[in-house]
Structure 1
């Protein structure tokens, strides 16, 4: 609840019962008014444009009413109310962490030694609590397994159905991961693969990848996941100048593996938001194109940082490994978690199917469950 509210024409200052204070600008309060003329009651979407707000907007009164804030704006002579909890949640008059390369709220970075977060196929399909826990693991850790599923082909599509939709690419709605003769992609061989993010040559990249095991009697072929955010944190601690180089200059990625397909992107290996938050990793040696956007006098230092990041990623202590059994799958946040594979022999069989999906669907499903099904957390 609010204790007091004071104002001048352009700023309202409130004191919460927690003892904290916050200031809000008149134009910000007007733009975010919660009345039905400003926001649609059904979906909360804004019904006004910035041009609809008078350029000379001002506050003529501000007072605490029933624990919330009641404000009257001029020259509209419009009065609106803001709940105290809403103001506290949207307070922007506060100290901010401006550390370059920091991770966002709810992100848990990790390295080898953690138990892979996992859900049971039947439970996540039947129980809101189990589904919510599984989705929350993907959001926080960037990956999670799913066990106890069917061995029927295309079962991976039902994994995507838990939260969203398959993102179809030139590989189709899904792709096969098994040894092929004359493969169009190294993923279709028995070779080991360095930890990498998929499809860095796309803009935007597919933000989630699902790999589903149908057969796995071959020797080897264990899956490995590496937290790219933890790797970036280590690079920043060991070599802040190198971290800044990989974040400050775009790398280039390219794929021309089949007729009619030529995909290219120009993005940094370490991607930061405008205010410095770590938001993405693109790392894939197979798809790297020549780097031509780094100045001559910084290219050697750039390559040294690239090598150092690769050494961190390749460190066995960084990876969590597991061998998928038939009916098991795992999902990775492809903007963050790298995945690798040990080589496997021609004896036996190894058949996985993979597909892509979008993280916004998963985060939307999780957020909707948190709002509408709080009992799922119990």
Structure 2
């Protein structure tokens, strides 16, 4: 059976016929300074060898190229949305010719139905299917985490600079992404300006996440508290709101009042991903238990919005499909009395949970600080666990924090746009 090959007409690759015994994918030889390509009709791949030899060859599936035609009939230039409907898409469409133009740095494909698609070189390079390019792109979705232990020096950022400077805000968010724990210093504490400071910071990044406790929440001792945080009791290391299917991404706690007449009340933090790493090495059975068994969390009370009864099952240590850490979901205060596991697994579960808790609170993983008035401690609620020592108030002293949450989705969006903005202003 005759098979398709490619021949050049000028700078164009044209599909033709070749006899039996010749390779289905013909290698096209051009001058070293010229971009060249070859089409394998059986595998339906276009291989591009770029004139820039620092670039690795790109493998581009024909179906993907046709699906992502950038012409105005296929792709809306204002909404940046695909106009081509899947119901009208032919994933087996053939390519009659491929043309490269190094002067304009564009590649044009003429399809078997007569449609012509044109792509910029850099657009194709950024979307290459090689593993290195795809690994690099994965950082767009979540950056690299820098794990830490008790020697971590908490990153600090001035409130005023974050509110005025995009580059300062970007550095703050990059630190949050990498370390998951920072302190913003010098926020207002007096009057309405103080009460809204945590909201102002959220709005500078994106917008607060509303929960069953409201858009913001007040942390101080209350009569008839709806949450253990609203008492002076010690709080063990935990994440907030594990009874949400998608718990908050970032928590912000603004210290408005922390009198010298208060004994205790220090905050402590632990990198849950670091502790999970240690557990994996020290006790693989416990690690397997906490990465596979679902645990029930609940919240049943009345607060800001209405009566609520929140329920969710989560793994204490959640992994991505690639085996990377995705989320820590551990809060002993709101862990339900129901255990969704066979009775003979319960002791093993408690042993595993105890081993993890011991690592979290141990010297290898935790750091502590006592917030000063004007501090906004900001931490990754899906990675960094937080706790608080019990405290005693002497006389009329008060301990008052205002809290809020952000979603990582909006934070990552803000990071990407800030990177574009800051980079465009650099000389």
Query: Does the alignment reach a TM-score above 0.5?
Result: yes
C-alpha deviation, 1:316, in angstroms:
3.0
SS of match in other structure, 1:254: strand
1:36 is aligned to: 72
Cα contact 1:164–1:361 (8 A) shared by 2: yes
1:24-173 alignment, distance < 5 Å: 24-66=60-102, 68=105, 70-72=107-109, 74-94=111-131, 105-151=143-189, 152-173=194-215
Q: Cα distance 1:73–1:176, how it changes in 2: closer, same or farther (>3 A)?
A: same
Instruction: Report if aligned partners of 1:70, 1:79 keep a CA contact under 8 Å in 2.
Output: no
> How far apart are the structure 1 equivalents of 2:227 and 2:239?
14
* Aligned counterpart, 1:271: 318
Measured in 2, the distance between the counterparts of 1:161 and 1:105 equals 22
Q: Which residue in 2 is equivalent to 1:221?
A: 265
CA contact (8 A) 2:163 2:201 kept: no
**Aligned position for 1:20:** 56
| Corresponding position of 1:100 | none
Task: Answer whether contact 2:99 2:109 (CA < 8 A) is retained.
Answer: no
Residues in 2 aligned to 1:366 and 1:86: alpha-carbon distance in whole angstroms: 21
Greater relative CO (CA pairs within 8 A, separation 6+) = 1
Q: How far apart are residue 264 of structure 1 and its match? A: 0.3
1:15–1:293 Cα change, 3 Å: farther
Segment of structure 1 superposing worse, 262-271 or 282-291:
282-291
Counterparts of residues 192-231 of structure 1 (less than 5 Å): 192-217=234-259, 218-231=262-275
**Deviation by residue 1:110-169 (Cα, 9 ceiling, x = unmatched):** 222122112101111112211111111112222221111100223211111111111222
Q: CA-atom RMSD, angstroms?
A: 2.5
Report how many residues are paired.
373
CA distance in 2, matches of 1:33, 1:296: 57
Shift of the 37–296 alpha-carbon distance from structure 1 to 2, 3 Å rule, reads: farther
2:415 is equivalent to residue 371 of structure 1: no
Structure of greater Rg: 2
- Uncovered stretches (5+) of structure 2, i.e. residues with no partner: 1-32, 136-140
More moved, 334-343 vs 268-277: 268-277
1:2: how far off?
Answer: 7.9
State the TM-score, normalizing by the size of structure 2: 0.80
Contact 2:96 2:112 in 1 (8 A): no
Q: Judge conservation of contact 1:180–1:189 (CA < 8 Å) in 2.
A: yes
TM-aligned CA deviation for residue 198 of structure 1: 0.1
Q: Which residue of 2 aligns with 1:314?
A: 361
Q: Structure 1 residues 291, 92: CA separation in 2 closer, same or farther (over 3 Å shift)?
A: farther
Question: Secondary structure of 2:184's partner?
Answer: strand
Q: Check whether the contact 1:213–1:329 (CA below 8 A) recurs between aligned residues.
A: yes
Matched residues in 1 for 2:95 and 2:322: separation? 30
